[in-house]
Amino acid sequence: MSMYFAVNGHKTYCYTGGKPFDAAKPTAVFIHGVLNDHSVWILQSRYLAHHGWNVLAIDLPGHCKSEGEAPASVEAGAGFVAALLDAAGVQRAALIGHSWGSLIALEAAAQLKERVSHLVLVGTAYPMKVTQALLDASLNEPMKALKMINVFSRSTLAAPPSALGPGTWVYGASMALGRRVLASNAEVNVFHRGFKACDSYANGETAITQITCPVLFVLGAQDQMTQAKAAQRLMDKAGASGKTVRVARVQVGHHQMTEAPEETLFAMRDFLNTP
């Protein structure tokens, strides 16, 4: 089940987790990372939708089912999230982001202040630097770069039952999704653009001090894309500025939602259910 909102004049796709949007419920917005779409959140978003939450798992602009210009910066992505909440008539929401999406969620939470009830940063790092070799490959040899990031993201050859249920080969599913997302935008290489946005984001430490909500970090202990230690600066800043900080470490790589779907869900659920 899904719905479209007109955001900044463009159709924006939101998966609602199998339940119709209900303005009376609290809302959780899920923001995906580079070369991903709403479907990476299926298990977590579908669960929350059936446990009291409004879910809006988006395709970022210029990705898959959403129209519009793909965000060229984290700030542009955050501006889109703010516009989405306005378009949906949502006054207050939890923001949940993965990888690039975690930076967008962080920046949006800093901009939106009290309009954000909870902030969940999955597979985050700051700064989220991308090597020049990977940036170049994402532009010039995207299939080679896609393989590189999926190899870096994987932590196991034996993932538990995942988004497609038992029998899912997570690595292959992520490769296929990456190819599909890249092909979904004929105008812009969303792979390179997303990586550039991650690489150039410079407001993370300021943003984390500006948020007004509690924050949960979900970090993969074996994550080679955004190593767990690379989130420490954000955690330190958040703690030093008096924020409520929670940390969940899952024993997987960068595919937290698919390699550890249950642990990721439980961390998220318990955090969101705390006012």
Partner 1 sequence: MSGYSDPGFDTLALHAGAAPDPTTGARAVPIHLTTSFVFESSDHAASLFNLERAGHVYSRISNPTNAVLEQRVAALEGGIGAIATASGQAALHLSIATLMGAGSHIVASTALYGGSQNLLHYTMRRFGVETTFVKPGDMAGWRAAVRPNTKLFFGETVGNPGLDVLDMPSVSAIAHEAGVPLLVDSTLTSPWLVKPFDHGADLIYHSATKFLSGHGTVIGGIVVDGGSFDWEKSGKFAELTEAYEGFHNMVFSEESTVGAFLLRARREGLRDFGACMSPHTAWLILQGIETLPLRMARHMSNTEKVVAFLASHPLVARVGHPMLESHPSHALAKKLLPRGAGSVFSFDIRGNREQGKAFIEGLKLFSHLANVGDCRSLVIHPASTTHFRMSDEALAGAGITQGTIRLSIGLEDPDDLIDDLKRALKAAEKAGA
**Which residues of this chain interact with partner 1, rule CB under 8 A?**
1-2, 15, 18, 37-39, 42-43, 46-47, 50, 64, 147-148, 151-152, 154, 156-169, 171-173, 175-177, 179-181, 224, 261-262, 265
Q: Is 65 exposed, middle or buried (0-12, 13-18, 19+ CB in 10 A)?
A: middle
Closest among 226, 50, 3 to 121, alpha carbons compared: 226
Residue 10: phi and psi, rounded to 5, are -120, 145
Q: Which of 165/275 has CB closer to partner 1?
A: 165
CA 65, 69, 71, 75 torsion: positive or negative?
negative
Q: What b/e string do you get for 220-256 counting C-beta neighbours within 10 Å, with b at 16 or more?
A: bebbebbbbebbeebbebbeeeebebbebebebbbbb
Output the six-digit token pair for 114.
């009290």
Q: Which of 18/127 has CB closer to partner 1?
A: 18
Q: Which of 84/163 has CB closer to partner 1?
A: 163
User: Cβ 89 to partner 1, closest distance in Å?
Assistant: 22
Question: What is the three-class DSSP state of 142?
Answer: helix
Q: Which of 147/246 has CB closer to partner 1?
A: 147
Q: Distance between CA atoms of 191 and 36, rounded to whole angstroms?
A: 10
Q: Which of 179/246 has CB closer to partner 1?
A: 179
Q: Which of 5/171 has CB closer to partner 1?
A: 171
User: Cβ 261 to partner 1, closest distance in Å?
Assistant: 6
Contact assessment for residue 256 and residue 170, using Cβ atoms and an 8 Å cutoff = no
Q: Distance between CA atoms of 236 and 240, rounded to whole angstroms?
A: 6
Look at phi and psi of residue 52 and say left if phi exceeds 0, alpha if psi is from -120 to 50, else beta: left
Residues β-bridged to residue 116: 93
User: Cβ 45 to partner 1, closest distance in Å?
Assistant: 9
User: Cβ 263 to partner 1, closest distance in Å?
Assistant: 12
User: Cβ 204 to partner 1, closest distance in Å?
Assistant: 28
Instruction: Give the type of residue at 103.
Output: L
User: Cβ 219 to partner 1, closest distance in Å?
Assistant: 19
Q: Which of 172/239 has CB closer to partner 1?
A: 172
User: Cβ 235 to partner 1, closest distance in Å?
Assistant: 27
Within 8 A by CB and 6+ apart from 87, the residues are 5, 6, 7, 12
User: Cβ 248 to partner 1, closest distance in Å?
Assistant: 17
Q: Which of 98/154 has CB closer to partner 1?
A: 154
Output the six-digit token pair for 249.
């470490």
